[in-house]
Copies of this chain bind each other. A is one copy, B any other.
Amino acid sequence: MTTLASSDPVSPELRSAYDAQKLVPLWESGTTGFSQGGEQPRHWPWEAIGPILRETAHITVPSIVERRVLMMMNSTIPRNDAESCAGLVSAGVQALMPGEIARPHRHAMHALRFVLEGEGAETIVEGKACAMEPGDLVVTPGWAWHEHHNKGGKPTLWVDILDLAIHRAMRTDMFQPGPVNALRAVPADRAYGAAGIVPVGIEENEVARAGHTMMFRYPAGPAQAAAANAPQDQFGIRLARYVDPRNGGAIVPTIDCYLMQLEEAETAKARSLGAQLCVVVAGAGESDIDGTRIAWRRHDVFTIPRGATVVHRISEGPAQIFVASDIEIYRRLGQADGNDPALFAAV
């Protein structure tokens, strides 16, 4: 610091020394770089993406058939190396044509399929055949072998939902192609088929300790009836949560799913505790999300950023919206207001 020429308080020798030791001075990092936010709500109207998805269905190259997914990438999300759609939730639309098969594979990511259209297709998850009828939610938990078969006569279209971003961050984003080996002995879905009843006597094995649901298919009908009968919360929303029947917690540790019924003309203004990926199941309406207005109808996908203020209005109701949120990650890591399964809080 003896020369006029340089205002750098760090001598070249010191700089060389810490470089050599792989030390990086914090004072050269800005603190202004820290930032939250940036993410904006996005809308993929079905009338725009449905035709594109149907068009891709004509591509029959085997390698594409198996991964015929159009990821809905939200380019407003900062550092979005996981091509997320809403917060830490990735999502795409997928089509499986009659007779097509997507061969078995597995990955550390938890994947959920929310079915839009089709009949006769099924996903085989860890050996359990799960029908994929419209409105069904099929869970393929992390590291469970799964494959898809369309045994029906119509295209089956669904929304694929993944927790890729958090696995990227944890560096647990592993993938393994088939063939299937070492299927775990998983109780039949029928063992979980009664509300309020769970099988016991399997507590000691690894399956029982798994941190995700062992019920892999949540059929549309009962879920829709449950949402319709859930009490209205303080915002005027009926909210049913998909849970692991063994403990009433989220179906997977990283994605929390809900079926929301809207009957009131307008909900009270609420703050979304996590990011929401919304798939319209029935009805139509519009949502005001931090000032952005999105008009939605059946099969549309739209997103709500974490922390956004939301008002939903319906024009055709009751409306039902399936929601997949990253809020469970924030809860578990102490970044949400408490551990309650709430999706909204007062503004």
Contact = CB atoms under 8 A, between A and B. Distances in A.
Contacts of A23: 44, 49, 52, 70-73, 92-93
A197 B170 contact: no
Interface of A (DSSP majority class) = loop
Copies in the complex: 4
Contacts of A9: 59, 61, 64
A279 to B, nearest CB: 15
The range of chain A's interface size is 35 or more
Contacts of A177: 31
Contacts of A52: 14, 17-18, 21, 23
Interface in A186-220: 187-188, 190-203, 209-213, 215, 218-219
Given A215-B196, A335-B170, A14 B248 contact: no
Nearest to A190: B229
6 contacts: A22-B44, A26-B69, A39-B171, A191-B230, A194-B222, A332-B332
Interface of A: 9-10, 14, 17-18, 21-27, 31, 34-39, 42, 44, 48-49, 51-52, 55-56, 59, 61, 63-64, 66-75, 78-79, 81, 83, 87-88, 92-93, 107-108, 142, 165-166, 168-175, 177, 185, 187-188, 190-203, 209-213, 215, 218-219, 222-223, 225-235, 237-248, 251-254, 258-259, 306, 329-330, 332-335, 338, 340-343
